[in-house]
Amino acid sequence: MTAYHQYKLCIDALLNCAALCNHCASSCLKEEDPKMMAHCVQLSMECAAICYATAQLMSLGSDAVKELAKLCATMCDACAEECNKHKNEHCLECAAACTKCADECEIM
């Protein structure tokens, strides 16, 4: 079994999470008071970055998969916590994706 197929469920969750984190960050910047959303934007962008990197290294079969997955789960949990503080659709959607991604990463 190749690395990609072995980690496919997690990779799919990672890529979905990254896309929704980018959407969330972009949408937060369009809110009435984007300064109030600064922490959410920052965490969403950081979460997207670690999710993309983790998915890429999983696809490559990196020896660092377990460590990356653990860090990614921690960052996804932090992003979900922040997004759940906001009651707009894009933040709640991001929080759900982050929670699912963290759960998949913890399985690693």
Domain boundaries, the chain: 3-107
34: DSSP letter: G
**Given this model, what pLDDT does residue 86 score?**
94
**Given this model, what pLDDT does residue 39 score?**
97
- The 3-class SS string of the chain reads CCHHHHCHHHHHHHHHHHHHHHHHHHHHCCCCCHHHHHHHHHHHHHHHHHHHHHHHHHHHCCCCHHHHHHHHHHHHHHHHHHHCCCCCHHHHHHHHHHHHHHHHHHHC
**Given this model, what pLDDT does residue 77 score?**
98
CATH architecture label of 3-107: Up-down Bundle (1.20)
Q: What is the mean pLDDT of each run of 10 residues along the chain (108 residues)?
A: 85 98 97 94 98 96 95 98 96 98 95
Report pTM: 0.94
The residue type at 33: D
